[in-house]
Structure 1
Amino acid sequence: MKKKIAWIIDTTGFVTEEFKAHPDVYAVPLNIHFGTEEFIDDGVDLTNDELYQRMKESADFPKTSQPSAGKFSELYDKLKEEYECAIAVHASAKLSGTIASSTAGAEMSEFKVYAVDSLALSYGLSGLIERGLKLQEQGVDAEEIAQRLEKETANFRNYILIGNLSQLYKGGRMSGAQYYLGSLLQIKPIVQLTPEGELKPIDKVRSHKKAIQYLINHAKKDYEEYGVRRFQIMHGHVMKEAESLKQEVLKQMPEATILIGDLSSSLAVHAGEGTLAFLWRREDL
Protein backbone atom coordinates (compact mmCIF):
# COMPACT_ATOMS: atom_id res chain seq x y z
CA MET A 1 0.00 0.00 0.00
CA LYS A 2 1.38 3.38 -1.01
CA LYS A 3 1.94 6.20 1.48
CA LYS A 4 -0.26 9.21 0.92
CA ILE A 5 1.97 12.30 0.62
CA ALA A 6 5.63 13.01 -0.11
CA TRP A 7 6.80 16.50 0.85
CA ILE A 8 9.25 18.45 -1.31
CA ILE A 9 11.25 21.55 -0.34
CA ASP A 10 13.96 23.24 -2.39
CA THR A 11 17.09 24.58 -0.71
CA THR A 12 16.09 28.21 -0.84
CA GLY A 13 14.08 27.07 2.18
CA PHE A 14 15.53 26.30 5.58
CA VAL A 15 15.95 22.53 5.72
CA THR A 16 15.55 21.87 9.43
CA GLU A 17 17.04 18.92 11.29
CA GLU A 18 13.48 17.59 11.65
CA PHE A 19 13.05 17.67 7.88
CA LYS A 20 16.36 15.87 7.37
CA ALA A 21 15.21 13.10 9.70
CA HIS A 22 11.64 12.90 8.36
CA PRO A 23 11.12 9.90 6.06
CA ASP A 24 8.61 11.72 3.86
CA VAL A 25 10.41 15.07 3.35
CA TYR A 26 12.75 15.43 0.38
CA ALA A 27 15.04 18.43 -0.18
CA VAL A 28 15.96 19.29 -3.77
CA PRO A 29 19.13 21.38 -3.96
CA LEU A 30 19.77 24.38 -6.18
CA ASN A 31 23.11 24.83 -7.93
CA ILE A 32 25.78 27.43 -7.16
CA HIS A 33 28.19 28.61 -9.83
CA PHE A 34 31.57 30.31 -9.46
CA GLY A 35 32.62 30.93 -13.05
CA THR A 36 32.82 27.49 -14.66
CA GLU A 37 32.72 25.64 -11.33
CA GLU A 38 29.38 24.26 -10.19
CA PHE A 39 28.41 23.11 -6.70
CA ILE A 40 25.29 21.56 -5.26
CA ASP A 41 23.62 23.48 -2.44
CA ASP A 42 23.50 20.57 -0.02
CA GLY A 43 25.93 21.75 2.67
CA VAL A 44 28.31 18.94 1.71
CA ASP A 45 29.50 19.74 -1.79
CA LEU A 46 30.17 23.29 -0.56
CA THR A 47 30.07 24.03 3.17
CA ASN A 48 29.00 27.41 4.51
CA ASP A 49 32.54 28.25 5.57
CA GLU A 50 33.85 27.38 2.11
CA LEU A 51 31.12 29.40 0.42
CA TYR A 52 31.82 32.60 2.33
CA GLN A 53 35.56 32.20 1.85
CA ARG A 54 35.08 31.81 -1.89
CA MET A 55 32.79 34.84 -1.99
CA LYS A 56 35.58 36.93 -0.44
CA GLU A 57 38.32 35.61 -2.68
CA SER A 58 36.72 34.83 -6.03
CA ALA A 59 36.89 37.27 -8.92
CA ASP A 60 33.66 35.71 -10.23
CA PHE A 61 30.37 36.78 -8.68
CA PRO A 62 28.53 33.59 -7.66
CA LYS A 63 25.27 32.73 -9.36
CA THR A 64 22.54 30.23 -8.66
CA SER A 65 20.36 28.09 -10.89
CA GLN A 66 17.28 26.03 -10.17
CA PRO A 67 17.27 22.23 -10.46
CA SER A 68 16.34 21.08 -13.97
CA ALA A 69 12.97 19.56 -14.81
CA GLY A 70 14.92 16.35 -15.43
CA LYS A 71 16.22 16.33 -11.84
CA PHE A 72 12.70 16.70 -10.52
CA SER A 73 11.47 14.03 -12.92
CA GLU A 74 14.08 11.58 -11.60
CA LEU A 75 12.88 12.20 -8.05
CA TYR A 76 9.21 11.97 -8.97
CA ASP A 77 9.77 8.72 -10.89
CA LYS A 78 11.03 7.21 -7.63
CA LEU A 79 8.37 8.75 -5.43
CA LYS A 80 5.41 7.62 -7.52
CA GLU A 81 6.34 4.02 -6.73
CA GLU A 82 5.94 4.74 -3.02
CA TYR A 83 3.47 7.63 -2.70
CA GLU A 84 0.03 8.53 -4.00
CA CYS A 85 1.06 12.17 -4.55
CA ALA A 86 3.38 14.94 -3.40
CA ILE A 87 3.10 18.48 -2.11
CA ALA A 88 6.04 20.63 -3.23
CA VAL A 89 6.63 24.00 -1.54
CA HIS A 90 8.96 26.21 -3.54
CA ALA A 91 10.61 29.63 -3.57
CA SER A 92 8.61 32.56 -4.89
CA ALA A 93 8.15 32.25 -8.65
CA LYS A 94 9.05 35.96 -8.90
CA LEU A 95 12.56 35.10 -7.67
CA SER A 96 13.26 31.59 -8.93
CA GLY A 97 12.24 29.24 -11.72
CA THR A 98 12.28 26.26 -9.36
CA ILE A 99 8.51 25.84 -9.17
CA ALA A 100 8.32 25.79 -12.98
CA SER A 101 11.00 23.06 -13.11
CA SER A 102 9.17 21.09 -10.44
CA THR A 103 5.87 21.29 -12.31
CA ALA A 104 7.49 20.29 -15.59
CA GLY A 105 9.24 17.37 -13.88
CA ALA A 106 5.93 16.17 -12.44
CA GLU A 107 4.34 16.26 -15.90
CA MET A 108 7.26 14.28 -17.35
CA SER A 109 6.84 11.65 -14.62
CA GLU A 110 3.04 11.66 -14.76
CA PHE A 111 3.01 11.99 -10.98
CA LYS A 112 0.45 14.08 -9.12
CA VAL A 113 2.30 16.97 -7.48
CA TYR A 114 0.56 19.91 -5.83
CA ALA A 115 3.09 22.72 -6.32
CA VAL A 116 2.71 25.57 -3.83
CA ASP A 117 4.29 28.95 -4.52
CA SER A 118 5.38 30.06 -1.05
CA LEU A 119 5.77 33.67 -2.27
CA ALA A 120 8.76 33.57 0.08
CA LEU A 121 12.24 32.24 0.80
CA SER A 122 13.98 30.59 3.76
CA TYR A 123 11.63 29.81 6.65
CA GLY A 124 8.73 31.01 4.54
CA LEU A 125 8.89 27.62 2.83
CA SER A 126 9.71 25.62 5.95
CA GLY A 127 6.83 27.00 7.97
CA LEU A 128 4.34 25.99 5.30
CA ILE A 129 5.63 22.42 5.26
CA GLU A 130 5.45 22.27 9.06
CA ARG A 131 1.85 23.45 8.86
CA GLY A 132 1.08 20.97 6.08
CA LEU A 133 2.46 18.04 8.07
CA LYS A 134 0.19 18.97 10.98
CA LEU A 135 -2.83 19.12 8.67
CA GLN A 136 -1.89 15.70 7.31
CA GLU A 137 -1.81 14.32 10.86
CA GLN A 138 -5.33 15.68 11.30
CA GLY A 139 -6.50 13.68 8.29
CA VAL A 140 -6.87 16.51 5.79
CA ASP A 141 -6.43 15.32 2.19
CA ALA A 142 -3.59 16.51 -0.02
CA GLU A 143 -5.58 18.78 -2.32
CA GLU A 144 -7.15 20.65 0.60
CA ILE A 145 -3.78 20.92 2.37
CA ALA A 146 -2.27 22.53 -0.74
CA GLN A 147 -5.17 24.96 -0.98
CA ARG A 148 -4.83 25.95 2.67
CA LEU A 149 -1.09 26.45 2.35
CA GLU A 150 -1.58 28.76 -0.63
CA LYS A 151 -3.92 30.90 1.49
CA GLU A 152 -1.52 30.90 4.44
CA THR A 153 1.23 32.58 2.42
CA ALA A 154 -0.51 35.85 3.31
CA ASN A 155 0.43 35.33 6.98
CA PHE A 156 4.19 35.47 6.41
CA ARG A 157 6.11 38.47 7.81
CA ASN A 158 9.76 39.21 7.20
CA TYR A 159 12.35 41.95 7.62
CA ILE A 160 15.83 41.43 6.21
CA LEU A 161 18.87 43.45 7.23
CA ILE A 162 21.46 43.23 4.46
CA GLY A 163 24.86 42.64 5.98
CA ASN A 164 27.25 43.19 3.10
CA LEU A 165 26.75 46.05 0.67
CA SER A 166 29.64 44.84 -1.47
CA GLN A 167 27.68 41.70 -2.34
CA LEU A 168 24.79 43.77 -3.66
CA TYR A 169 27.26 45.94 -5.56
CA LYS A 170 29.05 42.94 -7.11
CA GLY A 171 25.71 41.47 -8.12
CA GLY A 172 24.72 44.64 -9.95
CA ARG A 173 21.93 45.50 -7.53
CA MET A 174 23.61 48.71 -6.36
CA SER A 175 25.51 51.40 -8.25
CA GLY A 176 29.07 52.37 -7.39
CA ALA A 177 27.84 55.70 -6.01
CA GLN A 178 25.22 54.00 -3.84
CA TYR A 179 27.81 51.56 -2.55
CA TYR A 180 30.28 54.33 -1.72
CA LEU A 181 27.70 56.51 0.04
CA GLY A 182 26.13 53.56 1.84
CA SER A 183 29.50 52.43 3.17
CA LEU A 184 30.55 55.97 4.06
CA LEU A 185 27.35 56.72 5.96
CA GLN A 186 27.05 53.21 7.42
CA ILE A 187 23.59 52.84 5.94
CA LYS A 188 21.88 49.52 6.67
CA PRO A 189 19.41 48.60 3.89
CA ILE A 190 16.33 46.69 4.99
CA VAL A 191 14.49 44.65 2.39
CA GLN A 192 11.34 42.59 2.47
CA LEU A 193 9.59 39.85 0.55
CA THR A 194 6.31 41.46 -0.43
CA PRO A 195 2.95 39.64 -0.31
CA GLU A 196 3.37 39.23 -4.09
CA GLY A 197 6.65 37.38 -3.60
CA GLU A 198 8.98 40.15 -4.77
CA LEU A 199 12.08 41.28 -2.91
CA LYS A 200 12.04 45.03 -2.42
CA PRO A 201 13.90 47.60 -0.31
CA ILE A 202 11.60 49.15 2.28
CA ASP A 203 13.89 51.33 4.39
CA LYS A 204 17.42 52.49 5.15
CA VAL A 205 18.60 52.81 8.73
CA ARG A 206 21.69 54.52 10.09
CA SER A 207 23.68 52.28 12.44
CA HIS A 208 23.43 48.59 13.21
CA LYS A 209 21.85 49.20 16.60
CA LYS A 210 18.96 51.18 15.11
CA ALA A 211 18.49 48.55 12.42
CA ILE A 212 18.18 45.79 15.03
CA GLN A 213 15.58 47.77 16.94
CA TYR A 214 13.74 48.39 13.67
CA LEU A 215 13.37 44.63 13.18
CA ILE A 216 12.25 44.11 16.77
CA ASN A 217 9.69 46.93 16.68
CA HIS A 218 7.82 45.32 13.78
CA ALA A 219 7.83 41.92 15.47
CA LYS A 220 6.73 43.40 18.78
CA LYS A 221 3.63 44.88 17.17
CA ASP A 222 2.43 41.43 16.07
CA TYR A 223 3.55 39.93 19.40
CA GLU A 224 1.29 42.36 21.26
CA GLU A 225 -1.63 42.67 18.83
CA TYR A 226 -1.85 39.16 17.36
CA GLY A 227 -0.27 37.01 20.05
CA VAL A 228 2.58 35.83 17.82
CA ARG A 229 5.03 33.83 19.91
CA ARG A 230 7.16 31.90 17.38
CA PHE A 231 9.90 33.71 15.49
CA GLN A 232 12.83 32.71 13.30
CA ILE A 233 16.20 34.38 12.87
CA MET A 234 18.12 33.38 9.74
CA HIS A 235 21.69 34.62 9.43
CA GLY A 236 24.52 34.82 6.93
CA HIS A 237 27.50 33.33 8.79
CA VAL A 238 27.08 35.58 11.86
CA MET A 239 25.87 33.28 14.63
CA LYS A 240 27.00 35.67 17.38
CA GLU A 241 24.91 38.49 15.92
CA ALA A 242 21.93 36.16 15.56
CA GLU A 243 22.28 35.11 19.21
CA SER A 244 22.59 38.74 20.23
CA LEU A 245 19.39 39.57 18.34
CA LYS A 246 17.65 36.65 20.03
CA GLN A 247 18.63 37.87 23.50
CA GLU A 248 17.46 41.39 22.72
CA VAL A 249 14.14 40.03 21.43
CA LEU A 250 13.65 38.00 24.60
CA LYS A 251 14.27 41.09 26.74
CA GLN A 252 11.42 42.87 24.99
CA MET A 253 9.23 39.82 24.24
CA PRO A 254 9.90 37.35 27.08
CA GLU A 255 7.30 34.79 25.97
CA ALA A 256 8.79 34.45 22.49
CA THR A 257 10.17 31.17 21.15
CA ILE A 258 12.99 31.76 18.69
CA LEU A 259 14.65 29.42 16.23
CA ILE A 260 18.04 30.38 14.75
CA GLY A 261 19.28 28.97 11.46
CA ASP A 262 21.72 29.59 8.61
CA LEU A 263 20.68 31.17 5.37
CA SER A 264 21.01 28.52 2.71
CA SER A 265 23.98 28.88 0.40
CA SER A 266 21.71 29.66 -2.54
CA LEU A 267 20.39 32.70 -0.64
CA ALA A 268 23.70 33.71 0.92
CA VAL A 269 25.30 34.34 -2.47
CA HIS A 270 22.78 37.14 -3.00
CA ALA A 271 22.30 38.51 0.52
CA GLY A 272 25.95 38.35 1.56
CA GLU A 273 27.76 37.60 4.78
CA GLY A 274 26.38 39.37 7.83
CA THR A 275 22.75 39.37 6.72
CA LEU A 276 20.09 38.95 9.41
CA ALA A 277 16.51 38.02 8.58
CA PHE A 278 13.75 38.16 11.19
CA LEU A 279 10.71 36.09 10.24
CA TRP A 280 7.39 35.02 11.70
CA ARG A 281 3.88 34.01 10.75
CA ARG A 282 0.68 35.73 11.78
CA GLU A 283 -2.03 33.13 12.19
CA ASP A 284 -4.98 35.47 12.70
CA LEU A 285 -5.38 36.97 9.24
Structure 2
Amino acid sequence: MSIQIVTDSTVQLTESELADLPITIVPLIVRLGTQEFLNDGVQITNAEFLSHLVNDEELPKTSQPSIGQFLEVFDRLGENGDEVLCLNLTHFLSGTVNAARQAADMTDTKVTVVDTLSIDRGLAFQVITAAKLAKNGAPLENIINAIDLHRTHTEIYVYLNTLENLIKGGRISKAAGGIANLLNIKVVAEVVDGELRVAAKGRGKRFIKKQLDELIDHIIEVAPPKVGLTHVDNLTQTSEIANRIKAALPNTLVTIHEAGPVISTYTSVGALAVEFYTD
Protein backbone atom coordinates (compact mmCIF):
# COMPACT_ATOMS: atom_id res chain seq x y z
CA MET A 1 0.00 0.00 0.00
CA SER A 2 1.30 3.45 -0.96
CA ILE A 3 0.34 7.00 -0.10
CA GLN A 4 -0.80 9.04 -3.10
CA ILE A 5 -0.49 12.83 -2.96
CA VAL A 6 -3.35 14.96 -4.30
CA THR A 7 -3.43 18.75 -4.57
CA ASP A 8 -5.23 21.46 -6.53
CA SER A 9 -4.25 23.57 -9.52
CA THR A 10 -3.23 26.64 -7.54
CA VAL A 11 -0.03 24.71 -6.79
CA GLN A 12 3.07 25.85 -8.69
CA LEU A 13 5.16 22.86 -9.75
CA THR A 14 7.85 22.42 -12.41
CA GLU A 15 7.48 19.86 -15.18
CA SER A 16 10.29 17.76 -13.73
CA GLU A 17 8.68 17.73 -10.29
CA LEU A 18 5.41 16.51 -11.79
CA ALA A 19 7.21 13.87 -13.84
CA ASP A 20 9.28 12.53 -10.96
CA LEU A 21 6.81 12.53 -8.10
CA PRO A 22 3.46 10.80 -7.36
CA ILE A 23 1.27 13.92 -7.49
CA THR A 24 -2.28 14.20 -8.84
CA ILE A 25 -3.73 17.67 -9.45
CA VAL A 26 -7.45 18.43 -9.28
CA PRO A 27 -8.15 21.59 -11.31
CA LEU A 28 -10.14 24.58 -10.17
CA ILE A 29 -12.59 26.16 -12.63
CA VAL A 30 -12.30 29.45 -14.51
CA ARG A 31 -15.27 31.23 -16.12
CA LEU A 32 -14.99 33.81 -18.88
CA GLY A 33 -18.48 35.15 -19.47
CA THR A 34 -20.56 32.08 -20.31
CA GLN A 35 -17.54 29.88 -21.06
CA GLU A 36 -16.14 27.53 -18.44
CA PHE A 37 -12.63 26.03 -18.41
CA LEU A 38 -10.68 23.71 -16.18
CA ASN A 39 -7.62 25.46 -14.80
CA ASP A 40 -5.39 22.64 -16.02
CA GLY A 41 -3.14 24.45 -18.49
CA VAL A 42 -4.79 22.59 -21.37
CA GLN A 43 -8.33 23.90 -21.81
CA ILE A 44 -6.96 27.44 -21.52
CA THR A 45 -3.29 28.41 -21.41
CA ASN A 46 -1.81 31.14 -19.22
CA ALA A 47 -1.20 33.31 -22.31
CA GLU A 48 -4.76 32.90 -23.58
CA PHE A 49 -6.16 33.72 -20.17
CA LEU A 50 -3.95 36.78 -19.77
CA SER A 51 -5.35 38.19 -23.00
CA HIS A 52 -8.87 37.90 -21.56
CA LEU A 53 -7.78 39.38 -18.23
CA VAL A 54 -6.38 42.45 -19.96
CA ASN A 55 -9.02 42.95 -22.66
CA ASP A 56 -12.37 41.71 -21.30
CA GLU A 57 -14.60 44.19 -19.52
CA GLU A 58 -15.89 41.60 -17.05
CA LEU A 59 -13.49 40.16 -14.50
CA PRO A 60 -13.05 36.38 -14.91
CA LYS A 61 -14.60 34.26 -12.19
CA THR A 62 -13.13 31.23 -10.46
CA SER A 63 -14.61 28.41 -8.44
CA GLN A 64 -13.41 25.43 -6.46
CA PRO A 65 -13.38 21.92 -7.91
CA SER A 66 -16.62 20.04 -7.45
CA ILE A 67 -17.00 17.32 -4.84
CA GLY A 68 -17.42 14.94 -7.78
CA GLN A 69 -14.00 15.87 -9.19
CA PHE A 70 -12.33 15.00 -5.91
CA LEU A 71 -14.43 11.87 -5.46
CA GLU A 72 -13.44 10.49 -8.87
CA VAL A 73 -9.75 11.02 -8.08
CA PHE A 74 -9.99 9.52 -4.58
CA ASP A 75 -11.87 6.46 -5.86
CA ARG A 76 -9.40 5.88 -8.70
CA LEU A 77 -6.29 6.24 -6.55
CA GLY A 78 -7.69 3.92 -3.91
CA GLU A 79 -8.66 1.09 -6.26
CA ASN A 80 -5.59 -0.96 -5.40
CA GLY A 81 -5.65 -0.19 -1.69
CA ASP A 82 -3.54 2.97 -1.70
CA GLU A 83 -4.45 5.80 0.64
CA VAL A 84 -4.52 9.50 -0.22
CA LEU A 85 -3.07 12.61 1.36
CA CYS A 86 -4.81 15.66 -0.14
CA LEU A 87 -3.12 19.04 0.34
CA ASN A 88 -5.15 22.10 -0.64
CA LEU A 89 -4.80 25.85 -0.77
CA THR A 90 -5.81 27.94 2.22
CA HIS A 91 -9.50 28.05 3.07
CA PHE A 92 -9.24 31.85 3.36
CA LEU A 93 -8.99 32.09 -0.43
CA SER A 94 -11.15 29.18 -1.61
CA GLY A 95 -13.61 26.51 -0.54
CA THR A 96 -11.50 23.85 -2.26
CA VAL A 97 -10.40 22.15 0.94
CA ASN A 98 -14.02 21.83 2.08
CA ALA A 99 -15.00 20.15 -1.22
CA ALA A 100 -12.12 17.72 -0.72
CA ARG A 101 -13.25 16.95 2.84
CA GLN A 102 -16.80 16.23 1.70
CA ALA A 103 -15.50 13.91 -1.03
CA ALA A 104 -13.25 12.19 1.52
CA ASP A 105 -16.35 11.38 3.59
CA MET A 106 -18.03 9.77 0.56
CA THR A 107 -15.21 7.57 -0.80
CA ASP A 108 -14.16 4.11 0.34
CA THR A 109 -10.54 5.18 -0.04
CA LYS A 110 -8.71 6.23 3.11
CA VAL A 111 -8.19 9.98 2.60
CA THR A 112 -6.54 12.57 4.83
CA VAL A 113 -7.27 16.19 3.82
CA VAL A 114 -4.98 19.01 4.97
CA ASP A 115 -5.56 22.76 4.75
CA THR A 116 -2.02 23.90 3.97
CA LEU A 117 -2.83 27.55 4.76
CA SER A 118 -0.76 28.33 1.68
CA ILE A 119 -0.97 28.72 -2.10
CA ASP A 120 1.16 28.75 -5.26
CA ARG A 121 4.82 27.84 -4.69
CA GLY A 122 4.26 27.90 -0.94
CA LEU A 123 1.74 25.09 -1.44
CA ALA A 124 4.25 23.36 -3.70
CA PHE A 125 6.88 23.26 -0.96
CA GLN A 126 4.54 21.13 1.15
CA VAL A 127 3.36 19.01 -1.77
CA ILE A 128 6.90 18.24 -2.98
CA THR A 129 8.08 17.22 0.47
CA ALA A 130 5.01 15.04 0.99
CA ALA A 131 5.44 13.36 -2.41
CA LYS A 132 9.15 12.67 -1.88
CA LEU A 133 8.51 11.10 1.51
CA ALA A 134 5.56 9.08 0.17
CA LYS A 135 7.67 7.84 -2.74
CA ASN A 136 10.27 6.60 -0.24
CA GLY A 137 7.63 4.79 1.82
CA ALA A 138 7.44 7.14 4.80
CA PRO A 139 4.42 6.68 7.10
CA LEU A 140 1.61 9.23 7.04
CA GLU A 141 2.48 10.64 10.47
CA ASN A 142 6.02 11.46 9.37
CA ILE A 143 4.78 13.14 6.20
CA ILE A 144 2.30 15.31 8.08
CA ASN A 145 4.96 16.33 10.61
CA ALA A 146 7.28 17.34 7.77
CA ILE A 147 4.69 19.48 5.98
CA ASP A 148 3.64 21.05 9.27
CA LEU A 149 7.26 22.18 9.69
CA HIS A 150 7.29 23.65 6.18
CA ARG A 151 4.04 25.49 6.84
CA THR A 152 5.37 27.23 9.93
CA HIS A 153 8.64 28.19 8.22
CA THR A 154 7.28 29.48 4.89
CA GLU A 155 7.05 33.17 3.99
CA ILE A 156 4.92 34.46 1.09
CA TYR A 157 4.92 38.07 -0.08
CA VAL A 158 2.90 39.46 -2.98
CA TYR A 159 3.69 42.78 -4.65
CA LEU A 160 0.64 44.38 -6.27
CA ASN A 161 0.06 47.37 -8.50
CA THR A 162 -3.62 47.38 -7.58
CA LEU A 163 -6.06 45.77 -5.16
CA GLU A 164 -8.99 46.20 -7.55
CA ASN A 165 -9.33 42.57 -8.58
CA LEU A 166 -8.86 41.24 -5.05
CA ILE A 167 -11.66 43.50 -3.89
CA LYS A 168 -13.96 42.62 -6.80
CA GLY A 169 -13.30 38.93 -6.22
CA GLY A 170 -14.02 39.19 -2.50
CA ARG A 171 -10.53 38.08 -1.43
CA ILE A 172 -9.83 41.26 0.52
CA SER A 173 -12.26 43.68 2.15
CA LYS A 174 -13.44 46.86 0.45
CA ALA A 175 -12.55 48.78 3.58
CA ALA A 176 -8.94 47.58 3.46
CA GLY A 177 -8.58 47.99 -0.28
CA GLY A 178 -10.62 51.08 -1.04
CA ILE A 179 -8.21 53.58 0.49
CA ALA A 180 -5.26 52.08 -1.36
CA ASN A 181 -7.01 52.30 -4.71
CA LEU A 182 -8.25 55.82 -4.05
CA LEU A 183 -4.72 57.07 -3.37
CA ASN A 184 -3.12 54.97 -6.13
CA ILE A 185 -1.02 53.21 -3.53
CA LYS A 186 1.09 50.15 -4.29
CA VAL A 187 0.68 47.26 -1.89
CA VAL A 188 2.78 44.49 -0.40
CA ALA A 189 0.58 41.68 0.87
CA GLU A 190 1.68 38.77 3.03
CA VAL A 191 0.10 35.38 3.66
CA VAL A 192 -0.17 35.07 7.45
CA ASP A 193 -1.68 31.90 8.89
CA GLY A 194 -3.34 31.31 5.55
CA GLU A 195 -4.87 34.78 5.24
CA LEU A 196 -3.79 37.44 2.74
CA ARG A 197 -3.06 40.64 4.64
CA VAL A 198 -1.72 44.04 3.66
CA ALA A 199 1.82 44.24 5.07
CA ALA A 200 2.91 47.60 3.66
CA LYS A 201 1.69 50.28 1.28
CA GLY A 202 3.22 53.26 -0.44
CA ARG A 203 3.22 55.32 -3.61
CA GLY A 204 4.92 54.55 -6.87
CA LYS A 205 7.52 52.18 -8.21
CA ARG A 206 10.20 53.42 -5.81
CA PHE A 207 8.18 52.08 -2.91
CA ILE A 208 7.94 48.61 -4.49
CA LYS A 209 11.66 48.62 -5.33
CA LYS A 210 12.58 49.52 -1.74
CA GLN A 211 10.34 46.77 -0.36
CA LEU A 212 11.81 44.21 -2.78
CA ASP A 213 15.37 45.26 -1.94
CA GLU A 214 14.66 44.76 1.76
CA LEU A 215 13.13 41.35 1.13
CA ILE A 216 16.07 40.24 -1.03
CA ASP A 217 18.44 41.27 1.78
CA HIS A 218 16.36 39.18 4.18
CA ILE A 219 16.42 36.18 1.87
CA ILE A 220 20.19 36.42 1.49
CA GLU A 221 20.53 36.59 5.27
CA VAL A 222 18.41 33.48 6.00
CA ALA A 223 19.67 31.55 2.93
CA PRO A 224 16.59 29.38 2.28
CA PRO A 225 17.02 26.13 0.32
CA LYS A 226 14.32 27.12 -2.19
CA VAL A 227 12.87 30.39 -3.45
CA GLY A 228 9.88 30.55 -5.78
CA LEU A 229 9.06 33.62 -7.86
CA THR A 230 5.65 33.81 -9.53
CA HIS A 231 4.64 36.67 -11.79
CA VAL A 232 1.76 37.94 -13.92
CA ASP A 233 3.30 39.24 -17.18
CA ASN A 234 6.30 40.59 -15.24
CA LEU A 235 9.17 38.36 -16.37
CA THR A 236 11.84 41.07 -16.67
CA GLN A 237 11.62 42.23 -13.06
CA THR A 238 11.22 38.66 -11.84
CA SER A 239 14.34 37.51 -13.69
CA GLU A 240 16.35 40.40 -12.24
CA ILE A 241 15.35 39.37 -8.72
CA ALA A 242 16.14 35.72 -9.43
CA ASN A 243 19.61 36.62 -10.72
CA ARG A 244 20.38 38.69 -7.63
CA ILE A 245 19.40 35.84 -5.32
CA LYS A 246 21.31 33.24 -7.37
CA ALA A 247 24.45 35.39 -7.36
CA ALA A 248 24.38 35.70 -3.57
CA LEU A 249 23.11 32.17 -2.84
CA PRO A 250 24.44 29.74 -5.47
CA ASN A 251 23.23 26.74 -3.46
CA THR A 252 19.64 27.99 -3.28
CA LEU A 253 17.20 26.66 -5.88
CA VAL A 254 15.42 29.65 -7.44
CA THR A 255 12.50 28.93 -9.75
CA ILE A 256 10.42 31.30 -11.87
CA HIS A 257 6.77 30.59 -12.65
CA GLU A 258 3.95 32.19 -14.62
CA ALA A 259 0.88 32.63 -12.47
CA GLY A 260 -2.05 30.49 -13.54
CA PRO A 261 -5.53 31.85 -14.28
CA VAL A 262 -6.87 31.60 -10.73
CA ILE A 263 -4.05 33.59 -9.15
CA SER A 264 -3.81 36.04 -12.08
CA THR A 265 -7.51 36.82 -11.75
CA TYR A 266 -7.06 38.32 -8.30
CA THR A 267 -3.54 39.74 -8.40
CA SER A 268 -3.78 41.32 -11.90
CA VAL A 269 -1.07 42.23 -14.39
CA GLY A 270 2.36 43.13 -13.03
CA ALA A 271 1.96 41.22 -9.78
CA LEU A 272 4.94 39.37 -8.30
CA ALA A 273 5.02 36.80 -5.50
CA VAL A 274 8.16 35.81 -3.59
CA GLU A 275 7.93 32.58 -1.61
CA PHE A 276 10.54 30.70 0.41
CA TYR A 277 11.01 28.56 3.48
CA THR A 278 13.76 28.14 6.06
CA ASP A 279 14.77 24.77 7.51
Q: CA deviation at 1:117?
A: 1.3
**Is the alpha carbon distance of 1:176 and 1:199 closer, same or farther for their aligned partners in structure 2, counting shifts above 3 Å?**
closer
Q: Does residue 1:264 correspond to 2:260, yes or no?
A: yes
2: CA distance, partners of 1:257 / 1:213: 24
**Is the alpha carbon distance of 1:151 and 1:114 closer, same or farther for their aligned partners in structure 2, counting shifts above 3 Å?**
farther
1: CA distance, partners of 2:213 / 2:136: 34
Q: CA deviation at 1:23?
A: 6.0
Counterpart for residue 43 of structure 1: 41
Counterpart for residue 78 of structure 2: 80
Counterpart for residue 12 of structure 2: 14
Aligned length: 275
**Is the alpha carbon distance of 1:205 and 1:88 closer, same or farther for their aligned partners in structure 2, counting shifts above 3 Å?**
same
1:15-37 CA-to-partner distances (Å, cap 9, x unmatched) read 32134324621111000112322
Counterpart for residue 111 of structure 2: 113
After alignment, is 247-256 or 143-152 more displaced? 247-256
Q: CA deviation at 1:180?
A: 4.3
**Is the alpha carbon distance of 1:17 and 1:229 closer, same or farther for their aligned partners in structure 2, counting shifts above 3 Å?**
same
Q: CA deviation at 1:193?
A: 0.5
2: CA distance, partners of 1:176 / 1:139: 50
1: CA distance, partners of 2:238 / 2:149: 30
Counterpart for residue 245 of structure 1: 241
Q: Which runs of structure 2 are paired with 1:67-106 in the superposition (5 Å)? A: 67-106=65-104
**Is the alpha carbon distance of 1:100 and 1:14 closer, same or farther for their aligned partners in structure 2, counting shifts above 3 Å?**
same
Q: CA deviation at 1:52?
A: 1.3
How high is the sequence identity, in percent, across the aligned residues? Answer: 27
Match of 1:223 among 220, 224, 231: 220
Match of 1:204 among 201, 205, 209: 201
1: CA distance, partners of 2:108 / 2:256: 38
1: CA distance, partners of 2:209 / 2:15: 27
2: CA distance, partners of 1:190 / 1:29: 28
Task: State the Cα RMSD in Å.
Answer: 2.3
Which runs of 5 or more structure 1 residues have no equivalent in the other structure?
none
Q: CA deviation at 1:191?
A: 0.4
TM-score (norm 1): 0.87
**Secondary structure, in 3 states, of the residue corresponding to 2:90?**
coil
One-letter identity of the residue aligned with 2:263? L
2: CA distance, partners of 1:260 / 1:32: 23
8 Å contact kept, 1:13–1:125: yes
